Amino acid sequence: MKFVIAVFSPGHAPSSRRALLFAQAALAGGHEIVRLFFYQDGVHSASANVVTPQDENDVPAHWREFVTAHQLDAVVCIAAALRRGVLNDEEANRYQRPAANLPVPWELSGLGQLHEAAQSADRLVCFGGD
Amino acid sequence: MAKSLLIISRQAPWSGPSAREALDIALAGGAFDLPLGMLFLDDGVFQLAPNQQPALLQQKNLAANLQALPMFGVEDLFVAASSLAERGLDPDGLGLPVQVLDDAGLTALIDRFDQVVTL
């Protein structure tokens, strides 16, 4: 089955961790992830600047490793990200901000990417709230 | 055939960017001519309350953006009767032409769409 997984919560929210576990289980079960889409506070789940205490689960790092290892299409909504200070090099330069926190493997793009992926997938599964 | 998507908007317009971000999903999908519906549920019904003065809260007015929905081809707009009643809002005095649904109607609505996003 083809999944689109949308994440609306930051890395410190249990729902972001659940989304990651779901995504891992989907691939382990032989399914395909058409796209991961990070929206609303979910853009923080992609931030490279999150520093998690050593004895806690570093969910943003695990997302990064998961996306990289499986070469997934992982899109962060650009409007939601700019509003929350999640920027790649290009946007940091464009808006003259002192730091970028969205390196590869993430791609900044628009909401059309969510719609496009949802059209090609069998299931759209969203994770938000706590 | 394109898959249909129901966007359920559950946050008040003054409680952060959630209401605007739910609307943005609808407008983006409308621009692609996708079959979309939007349901205002729980505190999301406050987006339909008339005569709001968001400038007093130093906020932008979401109402003007909501008016754009029909222009973007998103005409299937719904509101939960129970959410309106809980908050004392009059179904006949809302800021947008919406269909008022009872709880059975909500179940049927959600069932009718291929996909659902709740914000």
- Nearest C-alpha of chain B: how many angstroms from A103? 24
Is A100 within 8 Å of chain B by CB? Answer: no
Mean pLDDT of the B76-90 span: 97
Known active-site residue A126? no
pLDDT in tens, A41-61: 999 999 999 999 999 999 999
The reported pLDDT for the residue numbered B118 is 96
Which residue spans within A1-110 are E strands per DSSP?
2-7, 32-38, 74-77, 107-109
Is B1 within 8 Å of chain A by CB? Answer: no
The reported pLDDT for the residue numbered B64 is 87
The reported pLDDT for the residue numbered B89 is 97
- Is residue B1 very low, low, confident or very high in pLDDT (cuts 50, 70, 90)? confident
What's the token pair of residue A99?
A: 């730091």
Question: For chains A and B, what is the number of CB pairs under 8 angstroms?
Answer: 44
What's the token pair of residue A13?
A: 């929210």
Give the domains, in start order, of chain A with CATH numbers.
2-127 (3.40.1260.10)
C-alpha R_g of chain B:
14
- Is the confidence at residue A40, as pLDDT, over 90? yes
- Nearest C-alpha of chain A: how many angstroms from B31? 9
Is A130 within 8 Å of chain B by CB? Answer: no
Of chain B, the percentage scoring pLDDT greater than 90 comes to 87
Please, which residues 29-88 of chain B have a Cβ atom closer than 8 Å to chain A? 29, 31-32, 34
Please name the member of B21, B29, B118 whose beta carbon is closest to the beta carbon of A115.
B29
- Is residue A21 very low, low, confident or very high in pLDDT (cuts 50, 70, 90)? very high
Please, which residues 3-62 of chain A have a Cβ atom closer than 8 Å to chain B? 6, 8, 39-40
In our burial notation (b when 16+ CB lie closer than 10 A, e otherwise), range B4-42 reads bbbbbbbbbbeeebbbbbbbbbbbbbbeeebbbbbbbbb
Give the domains, in start order, of chain B with CATH numbers.
5-118 (3.40.1260.10)
ipTM exceeding 0.90, yes/no: yes
Q: Which amino acid is at A51?
A: V
A30 exposure class (CB count in 10 Å sphere: 0-12, 13-18, 19+): exposed
A54 exposure class (CB count in 10 Å sphere: 0-12, 13-18, 19+): exposed
Mean pLDDT of chain B: 95
User: Which member of A77, A102, A114, A121 is catalytic?
Assistant: A77
> Considering only CA atoms, which of A69, A77, A64, A72 is closest in space to residue A103?
A64
pLDDT in tens, B28-71: 999 999 999 999 999 999 999 998 999 999 988 998 899 999 99
The reported pLDDT for the residue numbered A130 is 78
Are A9 and A128 spatial neighbours (Cβ–Cβ below 8 Å)?
yes
Instruction: Indicate yes or no: CB of A124 within 8 angstroms of CB of B118.
Output: no
